[in-house]
Amino acid sequence: MKKAGTRISDRSSRIIGRKIFRYVKITSTQDKAKRFAQKGLPEGTAIIAEIQTQGKGRLGRKWVSPQGGIWLSVILRPEITPLETPKMTMIGGLAVARAIAGLFRLEVKLKWPNDVLIRTITGSEFKKICGVLTEAVSGGGRVNYVITGMGINVNNRIPPALRDQAISLREATGRNLSRLKLLRKVLEEFDKCYWDFKSQGMGPILKECKGMSAVLDKEVKIECADGIIEGKALDIDEYGALIVETEEGRKRVVAGDVMLLSKM
Ligand code: BT5
C-alpha cells in the first residue's frame, strides 16, 4: 500500500475509480470527497481510508470504521434531479452485492433502502455487511454532484453492541480477506452499473435490485418522516421509493428504516 493521500491509478476501470486517493486516518471519506468534488475533481474519483474517526451513517448516525474495513466514497456527476438521488444508492448497493456474491460463496440480499446483508454461517439470519450513504449537492433543480459512500466490513472487528445486526466478511468466511481484491471488484461492478444507468436508465439495475431484495413481498414496519408505516412491501419504483400496501391503501415511502415482520 502507498502512503497517505497518494494517488493510485487503476486502469481497469473506465469511470469509477479512475483516480483513487487513499488515506490512513481521516474524519470521513464523504467529507473529503465533497471537498474534492467542489474543487472540480472528475466523476469517478474514489476516496478510501484505513480508519475513519467520524464515519457517517444516515440522519447523523455514526458509522463504526476501524482498521480492516473498506471505507470508500465516490464522486458522481449524474444528470439527475435531487429526487433521483436514491438511484445512486441502489447502484452502490448493487455493486457491493455483486462483488461479494462474485468473490465469495455467500448469499447476499439488499435491504431497502441502503443495506447489503449476507446470510450468517448458521444460516438462520441475515446481517448487515455494508451500508451505503448518498449525499447530493444541488442547485437550480439539478444535482451538481453526488457522493456515494460505502462502508464494507471486511477484516474489521464488529463492536459487541452491533453484533446482533452486523457482521464482517472475515467472520462470515472464517478467514482474513484481501481488501484490495474486493475493492477492485467493487469499483469494477460500480463502473458497470453506472454505465448501464447512463446508457439504459434504471431498468436493468432496478430489476436486479428487486431480485435481491430482502423486503419485497414481506410484512414490514417502516420508521420514516411521516411516522410509522406498516404493511406489505409490494414494489420499488424507479426513483428507489418503496411501495407499501397498508390498511389505508398504498403508500410510497422515499426513505426510512425497515423492520421485517415476516421471515426472510
Ligand atoms: C448507513 O447508514 O448504513 C450508511 C453507512 C455509510 C458508511 C460509509 S463508509 C465510507 C463513507 N464515509 C462515511 O463517513 N460514511 C460512508 P444507516 O443506514 O444510517 O446505518 C447506520 C447504523 O448502522 C448505525 O446507527 C449502527 O446501528 C449501524 N452501524 C454502524 N457502524 C456499522 C458497521 N461498521 N457495520 C454495520 N452496521 C453499523
Which of 27, 63, 130, 134 to mutate for ligand 1's pocket (most ligand atoms within 8 Å of CB)?
63
The model's pTM:
0.95
The per-residue pLDDT for 5 is 64
What 3-state DSSP class applies to 236?
strand
Query: Is there an atom of ligand 1 within 6 Å of 56 CB?
Result: yes
In the 8-state DSSP scheme, what is residue 50? E
DSSP 91-128: HHHHHHHHHHHHHSS--EEEETTTEEEEE-TTSS-EEE
| Ligand 1 lined by 153 (C-beta under 6 Å) | yes
Residue 11: pLDDT band (50, 70, 90) is very low
Query: What's the whole-number mean pLDDT along residues 131-135?
Result: 98
Nearest to 190 by CA among 90, 110, 114: 90
Whether the CB of 51 sits within 6 Å of ligand 1:
no
Report whether pLDDT(1) > 70: no
Asked if residue 9 has pLDDT above 70, the reply is no
pLDDT at 41 over 90: yes
pLDDT at position 123 is 75
Q: Tell me: the pLDDT tens digits for 48-82?
A: 999 999 999 999 999 999 999 999 999 999 999 99
pLDDT reported for residue 122: 82
For the beta carbon of residue 75, count every other beta carbon within 10 angstroms: 23
Average pLDDT over residues 184-190: 97
The whole-number average pLDDT for the span 45-49 is: 98
Set of cell numbers at residue 146: 453526488
Q: What's the pLDDT at 7?
A: 54
Name the average pLDDT for the chain: 94
User: 19 CB under 6 A from ligand 1?
Assistant: no
Dihedral sign from CA coordinates of 175, 176, 178, 183: positive
Q: Which atom of ligand 1 is nearest to the CA of 131?
A: 3
- As given in the structure block, the three cell numbers for residue 200 are 439504459
Is residue 71 within 8 Å of 55, Cβ to Cβ?
A: yes
- Where are any strands of DSSP class E within 44-88? 46-52, 70-76
Biggest CA pair distance of the chain = 57
* The pLDDT of residue 253 is above 50: yes
Taking 60 as the threshold, does the pLDDT of residue 12 lie above it? Answer: no
Cα-to-centroid distance, 65 and ligand 1 (Å) = 8
In terms of Cβ atoms closer than 10 Å to its own Cβ (0-12, 13-18, 19+), residue 170 is middle
